[in-house]
């Protein structure tokens, strides 16, 4: 078979394999769906794809530049070594690498400063005079401020490469925006809490204004609690807010009580019952320990104010009486001058009658002032009034037991010669007022301490004190009086000079320093050196021995030195003066020395001192003893100490003297029972106890501060222990536990 008929070209397979199409991805499905919805979406997607490609290209280019930056640095170093720094600098300045490094550094600095700039601007920005924290995160005010801050940074970017902006700046801008936004949300919440807290005082004030409208009060408190809960106030914030409510209630109650509205004060304190407190609000603020403390403080203040009102009323009455007394004395003095200047007996009788009428009219109007008036007139008639200097020293040094005594002495001095004594009288009156206002309080404390120190020094002298009382005797008492008067005179003269020169009062430190250097040390040294004087000569006519050289020994019978002391008028007078200055009792027989030696002066027992105190007050000893038993838990211990569990204040002694009372009545831890009874008697006198009063009045004076508080409902006032006067009376009256203890105590001998 030949191949002449075989085709020269081999047949070609012309079959075309169909294109294999991959299954559509989720993105393709999404793109087709979007295209079906909006035909224009395809162009938008293509554009975004192009932008992404360009961004990738730009980033790739920047990465390439950064990768070749190390090679460029090597080139720069090589040029620097070969052609110098100038050539290297020129190369850098004209290179793309320098520009890129600058742009990168700039965006990094801006990015690092974003948060600090946001924070500083946030704290100092006010919009409509309000801080940014007062606006919500969504508010136009905050959003406008935030946009302004961001734009300020963006504007600083200029034409920096977008790649660097995207990579180094925008992430930090986004982070700072998130942080300042979170901070704003937190600060706005705190702002709302503070605003709610600020409503506390006005809310309580509104309650006080509607104190008699129960429905209104309930409505106000209910809304207030809703606002608190909505503001998210809990935990310590809730505790602080409740303490503010308590403080505000206490302030309003105290104000009402000080104004005399006791019933309103109680109603205001009762508002605490209406505020929920504790877990789930099952308790009220009335159960809060802080409220109980504040309530007790308010009650104490109101009690003291009531006492002060009583005292203030008494003082006003005293002022009125004293002013009229002054006028009466002046008028009588003028009449006496006229009597002395006339020789007409008829006129003298008329003037004497006029003077007598003035006296009778005043005594009729103020019968209780009759003793004072008689004392003043007696002093004037007998020329017994102290001189100006002595009175001034006694006033400033607290030498008078009361303001009345000081005024009596001043008026007696003035009445001796009104015209001549007017300037000194004015000074005395100013001194009395200065003492009352406390100008000389610290000076008095310094001088009082010095007097005690002087007494201690003088007590070291053999036979200088009475064994039964501890008081100084004889010449040592006189020496103490001399040193005390001179020290007072010196120190108060310096005080007056200081005020006149400086135009102000010296500080306590200035007073103390000058006093220690110029008064205390000087007079203590004098006291140490003091020796009783020798007698001036023998006064006993039967003595043949000259005793000029004998030392005075207070423990010896010194009749051969001073004569018969029991009948010597000069010595008797000296004894009386010493007794008056030191508060020593008069001797039982003859002189004090004789009585001491004869054993006629014996220490007073506790029981007798209590009976003496009761007699001085004009009350029954059993009643006074029962109250002391009640206050000392039946111990009759002058040093027993009690503590207020709410305030921590301590109370000491027979009637539990408080801090103020201990200071003002000189209560010390060394006091004997007998000495403290004297302080108790003075306290009860000052607090309104009168002859004939019983346990109710006496204990009201101790418990409430003044007998006059009985009229203000004081019998039912409650202390921290739940005690009231009315509750205590069952123990204080006959048949009561402490009354029986009082009877038993008085029957003892001690």
Model pLDDT, residue 266: 86
Number of domains in the chain: 5
pTM metric for this prediction = 0.30
SS3 131: strand
> Of 390, 409, 437, which residue sits at a domain end?
437
Long-range contacts of 706-711 (CB under 8 A, 24+ apart): 706/306, 706/307, 706/310, 706/311, 708/306, 708/307, 708/310, 709/303, 709/306, 709/307, 709/310
The answer to whether position 636 is within a domain reads: yes
In a domain? residue 462: no
Record the tokens describing residue 682, joined without a space. Answer: 């003075």
- Relative to beta strand 650-652, strand 283-284 is unpaired
Q: Are residues 90 and 221 in the same domain?
A: no
Residue 361 lies in a domain: yes
Q: What is the pLDDT of residue 577?
A: 36
Q: Say yes or no: 611 and 740 in one domain.
A: yes
pLDDT, one tens digit per residue, over 451-478 is 888 888 888 787 676 655 566 766 777 7
Asked if 50 and 133 sit in the same domain, the reply is no
For 472, which DSSP code?
A: B
Give the mean pLDDT of the chain.
74
Percent of the chain with pLDDT over 90: 12
State the Cα–Cα distance between residues 721 and 296, nearest whole angstrom: 11
Cα separation, 157 vs 104, in Å, equals 11
The domain that contains 706 carries what CATH number?
A: 1.10.530
Its domain, for residue 146, covers 68-194
Helix then strand then coil, in percent of the chain rounded to 5, is: 70, 0, 30
Higher model confidence: residue 346 or residue 404?
346
d(CA 714, CA 708) in angstroms, rounded, equals 9
Q: Give the sign of the dihedral formed by CA 625, CA 626, CA 627, CA 633.
A: positive
- Bridge partners of 652, per DSSP, are 641, 657
pLDDT for 593 beyond 70:
no
In this prediction, residue 425 carries a pLDDT of: 80
75 and 60 part of one domain: no
Taking only the tens place, the pLDDT of each residue in 612-654 is: 999 899 999 999 999 999 999 888 999 988 887 777 778 899 9
CA 104/CA 167 separation, integer angstroms: 9
| pLDDT at residue 271 is higher than 80 | yes
Whether residues 42 and 160 share a domain: the answer is: no
Centre a 10 Å sphere on the Cβ of residue 689 and count the other Cβ atoms it contains: 22
Residue 748 has pLDDT above 90, yes or no: no
Instruction: Give the pLDDT confidence score for residue 292 in this predicted structure.
Output: 85
Nearest residue to 675 via CA among 468, 474, 484: 468
Q: Are residues 115 and 140 in the same domain?
A: yes
> In the predicted model, is pLDDT for residue 578 greater than 80?
no
Q: What is the mean pLDDT of residues 388-409?
A: 74
For the chain, give the percent of residues with pLDDT over 70: 69
Residue 537 lies in a domain: no
What pLDDT sits at residue 626?
95
At residue 277, the 3 state secondary structure works out as strand
- Cα distance between residue 578 and residue 53, in whole Å: 118
Query: Which of 389, 417, 437 marks a domain boundary?
Result: 437
Query: What do you get for the CA distance between the two ends of the chain, in Å?
Result: 171
What are the residues facing 127 on neighbouring strands? 130
Write down which residue in 408, 437, 466 finishes a domain: 437
Describe the crossing of helices 474-502 and 441-459 by its angle, rounded to 10 degrees. Answer: 150
Regarding whether 714 and 637 lie in a shared domain, the answer is yes
Same domain, yes or no, for 232 and 264? yes
Cα 378 from Cα 374, distance rounded (Å): 6
On whether both 176 and 218 belong to a single domain, the answer is no
Residue predicted with more confidence, 623 or 441: 623
Residues 218-246, mean pLDDT to the nearest whole number: 82
Greater model confidence, 448 or 393: 448
Residue 345 within a domain: yes
Place of tokens 């050539």: 87
Give the pLDDT confidence score for residue 589 in this predicted structure.
34
Q: Are residues 208 and 190 in the same domain?
A: no
Write out the H or E segment, with its range, that includes residue 549: none
Q: Does residue 685 lie within any of the structural domains?
A: yes
Residues 6 or more apart whose CB falls under 8 angstroms from that of 61 comprise: none
Q: Are residues 151 and 181 in the same domain?
A: yes
State the pLDDT confidence band at 596, using cuts at 50, 70 and 90: very low
Residue 474 falls inside a structural domain: no
- Summarised one tens digit per residue, pLDDT across range 43-98 is 655 565 555 555 554 454 454 444 444 454 555 566 556 666 655 455 445 445 55
493-497 LR contacts (CB < 8 Å, sep 24+): 494/518, 495/440, 495/443
Whether the pLDDT of residue 215 is over 70: the answer is yes
Residue 463 covered by a domain: no
Mean pLDDT, rounded, for 158-169: 77
Determine the pLDDT at residue 383: 40
Q: Could you tell me if 219 and 330 lie in one domain? A: no
């Amino acid at each position: 078979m030949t191949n002449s008929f075989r085709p020269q070209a081999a047949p070609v397979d012309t079959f075309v394999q169909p294109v294999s199409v991959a299954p559509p991805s989720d993105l393709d499905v999404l793109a087709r769906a979007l295209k079906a919805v909006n035909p224009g979406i395809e162009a938008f997607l293509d554009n975004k794809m192009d932008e992404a490609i360009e961004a990738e290209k730009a980033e790739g280019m920047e990465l390439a530049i950064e990768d070749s930056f190390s090679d460029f640095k090597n080139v720069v170093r090589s040029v620097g070594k070969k052609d110098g720094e100038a050539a290297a600098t020129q190369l850098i300045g004209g290179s793309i690498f320098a520009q890129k490094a600058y742009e990168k550094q700039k965006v990094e600095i801006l990015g690092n400063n974003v948060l600090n700039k946001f924070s500083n601007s946030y704290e100092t920005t006010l919009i409509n005079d309000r801080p940014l924290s007062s606006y919500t995160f969504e508010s136009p005010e905050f959003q406008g401020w935030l946009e302004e801050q961001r734009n300020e940074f963006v504007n600083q970017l200029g034409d920096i490469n977008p790649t660097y902006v995207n990579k180094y700046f925008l992430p930090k801008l986004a982070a700072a925006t998130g942080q300042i936004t979170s901070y704003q949300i937190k600060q706005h919440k705190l702002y709302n809490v503070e605003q709610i807290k600020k409503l506390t005082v006005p809310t309580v004030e509104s309650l006080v204004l509607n104190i008699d409208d129960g429905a209104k009060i309930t409505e106000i408190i209910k809304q207030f609690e809703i606002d608190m809960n909505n503001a998210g106030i809990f935990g310590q914030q809730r505790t602080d807010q409740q303490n503010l409510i308590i403080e505000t209630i206490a302030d309003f109650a105290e104000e009402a009580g000080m104004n005399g509205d006791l019933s309103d004060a109680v109603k205001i304190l009762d508002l605490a019952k209406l505020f929920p407190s504790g877990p789930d609000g099952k308790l009220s603020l009335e159960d809060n320990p802080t409220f109980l403390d504040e309530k007790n403080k308010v009650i104490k203040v109101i009690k003291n104010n009531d006492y002060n009102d009583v005292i203030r009323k008494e003082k006003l009455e005293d002022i009125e009486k004293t002013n009229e007394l002054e006028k009466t004395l002046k008028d009588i003095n003028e009449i006496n001058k006229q009597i002395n200047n006339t020789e007409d007996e008829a006129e003298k009788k008329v003037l004497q009658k006029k003077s007598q009428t003035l006296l009778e009219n005043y005594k009729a109007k103020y019968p209780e002032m009759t003793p004072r008036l008689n004392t003043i007139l007696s002093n004037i008639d007998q020329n017994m009034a102290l001189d100006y200097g002595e009175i001034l020293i006694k006033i400033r040094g607290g030498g008078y037991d009361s303001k009345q005594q000081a005024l009596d002495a001043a008026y007696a001095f003035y009445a001796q010669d009104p015209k001549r004594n007017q300037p000194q009288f004015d000074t005395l009156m100013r001194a009395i007022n200065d003492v009352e206002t406390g100008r000389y309080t610290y000076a008095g404390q310094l001088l009082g301490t010095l007097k005690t120190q002087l007494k201690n020094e003088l007590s070291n002298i053999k036979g200088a004190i009475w064994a039964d009382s501890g008081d100084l005797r004889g010449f040592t008492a006189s020496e103490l009086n001399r040193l005390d008067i001179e020290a007072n005179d010196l120190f108060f003269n310096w005080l007056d000079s200081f005020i006149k020169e400086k135009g102000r009062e010296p500080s306590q430190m200035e007073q103390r320093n000058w006093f220690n250097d110029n008064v205390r040390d000087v007079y203590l040294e004098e006291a140490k050196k003091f020796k009783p004087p020798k007698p001036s000569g023998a006064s006993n006519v039967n003595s043949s021995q000259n005793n000029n050289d004998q030392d005075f020994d207070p423990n010896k019978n010194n009749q051969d030195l001073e004569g018969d002391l029991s009948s010597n008028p000069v010595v008797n007078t000296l004894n009386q003066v010493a007794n008056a200055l030191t508060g020593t009792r008069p001797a039982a027989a003859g002189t004090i020395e004789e009585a001491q030696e004869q054993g006629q002066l014996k220490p007073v027992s506790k029981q007798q001192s209590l009976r003496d105190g009761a007699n001085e007050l004009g009350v029954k000893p059993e009643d006074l003893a029962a109250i002391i038993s009640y206050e000392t838990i039946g111990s009759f211990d002058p040093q027993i100490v009690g503590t207020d569990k709410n305030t921590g204040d301590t109370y000491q002694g027979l009637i539990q003297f408080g801090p103020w009372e201990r200071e003002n009545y000189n209560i010390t831890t060394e006091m004997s029972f007998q000495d403290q009874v004297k302080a108790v008697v003075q306290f009860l006198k000052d607090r309104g106890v009168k002859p004939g009063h019983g346990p109710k009045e006496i204990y009201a004076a101790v418990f409430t501060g003044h007998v006059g508080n009985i009229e203000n409902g004081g019998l039912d006032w409650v202390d921290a222990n739940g005690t009231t006067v009315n509750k205590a009376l069952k123990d204080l009256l006959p048949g009561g536990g402490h009354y029986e203890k009082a009877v038993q105590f008085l029957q003892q001998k001690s």
